[in-house]
Structure 1
């Protein structure tokens, strides 16, 4: 096994990062690029032994990091952000090669957001405060105490951005971290370890363990030394994590799947609504927040569909490294097979593919729009996680809301309407953690983020992140009983 590989001209260490050192495993797993199926390298395949070592390192580093003054923690996190910005191009090309998302998106949006994640939570830490308040003359003081080692398990669709969405607040809060990246896209987590070390983050504060969740997941989530677990991924995996964490009552933050609706009312700007709908193909549909269920008022459905098909036809699907590409490959052949299975079962049950409905070149799935779908059908109820949208119509506002809420999920929703009063009425009734009106994917780190129902447990962002990653303490002080030492 090579300790380092070269990916898109960038040297990447294939070993774990534990206690400030590179640690190799006796076995490896193969990392393959979704762009062309080429082997990128053999990656250290973690075992419970590496997990135990990482948690031990995190525990050992915790007291000193927790005691580090806020201003110094913030300074180091800003230094990490500086390191990300210096290596932004390297991070972008490696992640595109590793997970197939658009290089232009990584350069212009995703990697800058990685740096922003560290800067935002560093700055928020310095303003984190709750005004003291009085109770019958006694003073109440609220404080956020670091909780301890945190296990962070992250997905493959936006590997580094979603990892640092968790890592940054956990570190800012004074915790130490064991990060487990997805096995389909592990490379930028390794680069992050290098960047953090160069920025002066003490040894053991950030640890990275690579491998398969089926082999090391339980060791991570059942460890009695772990005080917080944050996971982004599927509902079945979340259930296993919750069961594993239950023995130690380890607090969980779970950001899970979605089956989000886009409600298009007849009074909406139809061109805007079409733009929003076609935008759901972003990242080859591999976005948990994607509004994959188009719900269109029946009086404009025909015209909406015509404009949608026309605009979708202009999308370019191909190599994500090409600036002209709009849609890249599916992350893995297994995921492509899963997507195609959903579509084949839907069409066999009577759905009609207005566009797409098939793979392309073995690694790409054609942008697909299915109509004639029943509300209780699998394709409407279950998350596909690919470039597959369904279109249903409604006659009334009441029906639109009913259809929108009629799944097990509640991650997000999007509403297109020209009527402010309608927007207020509808958004108030939608079951979702985030609702966008006449826009999509506008995100601010100070806003609460998470899902309802099976879309997740808890909220992160701004103070909500610190509420999760800390033990909140209220200290009540009496006005009397002080001795005069003067």
Structure 2
């Protein structure tokens, strides 16, 4: 196809270089099922070259004064904002986020995180006293070293900025392996870092798949840390691969969030919850995909959910508007269809959507916004992460039962609570087994750490904790406070 973008090169040691060996992979536009670009999948020699460049750059970069590293990141933010429309185009075409959502949510999440890291870093103390009881004992925060960063396709810039920016600020050098399904945004991000004047070798990018470059980074003796966002299955494989070299491994994995709606919740709670579940076509690890509703308002909640599903428009990512786009790939589409069918087969009440393409659509990986009622928590659709616009609704009778159902999952990323009773909200939030709890539709504050527990991994990304993830602490006694 003559209009294919040629994106075969890798960014290594400050320049774009050809792969050691041509291994072409087409990037498919999920709205059209047609290729938009061709990349190359790296092999061991490409990974080795990128790691070697990062290792060479580490001594100098780790000694760059924090204020200078901050200035580099401020320049990155400036260039990133200028390239926002280019970035939105890339994300729409590689993973299917609709035009407006791509610019206003996908791209904006990157600038939001960069700014939050800038704000957190300004007051960051690299050497701080342990406490008043030990005035000459200090805690020093120092770079981990060369870090391997492996990111997914669902929120490309959200995940890339949550890893690359704190790594740079910490004084680490890095090798990024973005998702091979959605690599165009990360390649543009490499252009942005290049234009911002980052010293060569500090940031490197090699495309590849998990079995190839992902494994090579996870096992590489010169990589001190792996930060991975993606599936729980892949996170387990990375942990095992990294074990022999005792790397620091930080994992941000899947989720199956419960949204507990009590009878005294505000009028918009159900509508808000369904829309949140369908946002990004359901392709968010923190999506509230299980809606637990107090029985006295359950049937009216089901009616509202059906109404929202029927109002939710599905359309091409190339179009402006408030619709949802396709899911990322044919494999993802087929997986979602299989899980919707499992919900039907296991006896859940299908009240909206279902299998197959939406009406009037004959190409593209589009999924019908789907709602199941009368789901029991042991059903496949309640236990497995679907990663599509599919909501499971479950009734409950008591606060204790709601907490028990919410916690009855291998995952523990984000849970949600809707109630006008502040004491109950606080009580329930403390009993939910998750890294995050959002209540009454209020977003967590800037710099609040993103991450989970259990099979969701235990990463803490964003803000002060996200900076500390990319550093090692050192305790020092006998410090001369006057020197």
TM over 0.5: yes
Q: Is 1:451 paired with 2:438?
A: no
Aligned partners of 1:155 and 1:162 also within 8 Å = yes
Aligned partners of 1:145 and 1:471 also within 8 Å = yes
1:310 is displaced (CA, Å) by 1.7
Q: Is 1:76 paired with 2:53?
A: no
Corresponding residue of 1:474: 475
What is the number of residues matched between the two proteins?
475
Q: Does the residue aligned with 1:457 lie in a helix, a strand or coil?
A: coil
Q: Is 1:19 paired with 2:13?
A: yes
1:120 is displaced (CA, Å) by 2.6
Q: Is 1:105 paired with 2:75?
A: no
Aligned partners of 1:411 and 1:433 also within 8 Å = yes
Q: Is 1:47 paired with 2:43?
A: yes
Aligned counterparts of 1:447 and 1:223: Cα–Cα separation in 2: 32
Q: Does the residue aligned with 1:477 lie in a helix, a strand or coil?
A: coil
Q: Is 1:67 paired with 2:77?
A: no
Q: Does the residue aligned with 2:477 lie in a helix, a strand or coil?
A: strand
After superposition, the C-alpha distances for 1:40-86 in whole angstroms (9 at most, x for unaligned) are 12201111110111100100011111011111111011111111111
Aligned counterparts of 1:59 and 1:445: Cα–Cα separation in 2: 33
Corresponding residue of 1:375: 377
After superposition, the C-alpha distances for 1:232-256 in whole angstroms (9 at most, x for unaligned) are 1111101110001101110111000
Aligned counterparts of 1:203 and 1:50: Cα–Cα separation in 2: 16
Q: Does the residue aligned with 2:36 lie in a helix, a strand or coil?
A: strand
In structure 2, the gaps of 5 or more residues are: none
Deviates more, 1:168-177 or 1:315-324: 315-324
Q: Is 1:188 paired with 2:182?
A: no
Q: Does the residue aligned with 2:433 lie in a helix, a strand or coil?
A: coil
Corresponding residue of 1:290: 287
Aligned partners of 1:262 and 1:277 also within 8 Å = no
Aligned partners of 1:259 and 1:382 also within 8 Å = yes
Corresponding residue of 2:259: 262
Q: Is 1:206 paired with 2:203?
A: yes
1:5 is displaced (CA, Å) by 5.3
Q: Does the residue aligned with 2:300 lie in a helix, a strand or coil?
A: helix
Q: Is 1:278 paired with 2:279?
A: no
Give the TM-score of the pair, scaled to structure 1: 0.93
In structure 1, the gaps of 5 or more residues are: 7-11
Q: Does the residue aligned with 2:277 lie in a helix, a strand or coil?
A: helix
Aligned partners of 2:276 and 2:288 also within 8 Å = no
After superposition, the C-alpha distances for 1:205-251 in whole angstroms (9 at most, x for unaligned) are 11011011122222110101111111011111011100011011101
Q: Does the residue aligned with 1:162 lie in a helix, a strand or coil?
A: helix
1:299 is displaced (CA, Å) by 0.6
Deviates more, 1:123-132 or 1:57-66: 123-132
Corresponding residue of 1:9: none
Aligned counterparts of 1:137 and 1:293: Cα–Cα separation in 2: 48
Q: Does the residue aligned with 2:469 lie in a helix, a strand or coil?
A: helix
Aligned counterparts of 2:159 and 2:315: Cα–Cα separation in 1: 24
Aligned counterparts of 1:443 and 1:21: Cα–Cα separation in 2: 39
1:134 is displaced (CA, Å) by 5.7
Aligned partners of 2:309 and 2:371 also within 8 Å = no
Aligned partners of 2:326 and 2:367 also within 8 Å = yes
Aligned counterparts of 2:72 and 2:274: Cα–Cα separation in 1: 41
Corresponding residue of 1:394: 396
1:131 is displaced (CA, Å) by 4.2
1:312 is displaced (CA, Å) by 2.4
Corresponding residue of 1:403: 405
Q: Does the residue aligned with 2:175 lie in a helix, a strand or coil?
A: strand
Match runs of 1:288-327 below 5 Å: 288-327=285-324
Match runs of 1:149-160 below 5 Å: 149-160=146-157
1:451 is displaced (CA, Å) by 0.6
Corresponding residue of 2:91: 95
Q: Does the residue aligned with 1:322 lie in a helix, a strand or coil?
A: coil
1:313 is displaced (CA, Å) by 1.5
Aligned counterparts of 1:197 and 1:344: Cα–Cα separation in 2: 47
Deviates more, 1:180-189 or 1:341-350: 341-350
Aligned counterparts of 1:479 and 1:105: Cα–Cα separation in 2: 53
1:133 is displaced (CA, Å) by 4.5
1:475 is displaced (CA, Å) by 1.9
Deviates more, 1:78-87 or 1:268-277: 268-277
1:136 is displaced (CA, Å) by 6.9
Deviates more, 1:21-30 or 1:190-199: 21-30
Q: Does the residue aligned with 2:437 lie in a helix, a strand or coil?
A: strand
Aligned counterparts of 1:207 and 1:181: Cα–Cα separation in 2: 11
Corresponding residue of 1:165: 162
Deviates more, 1:399-408 or 1:455-464: 455-464
Distance verdict in 2 for CA 1:375–1:478, change over 3 Å: closer
Distance verdict in 2 for CA 1:93–1:217, change over 3 Å: same
Q: Does the residue aligned with 2:378 lie in a helix, a strand or coil?
A: coil
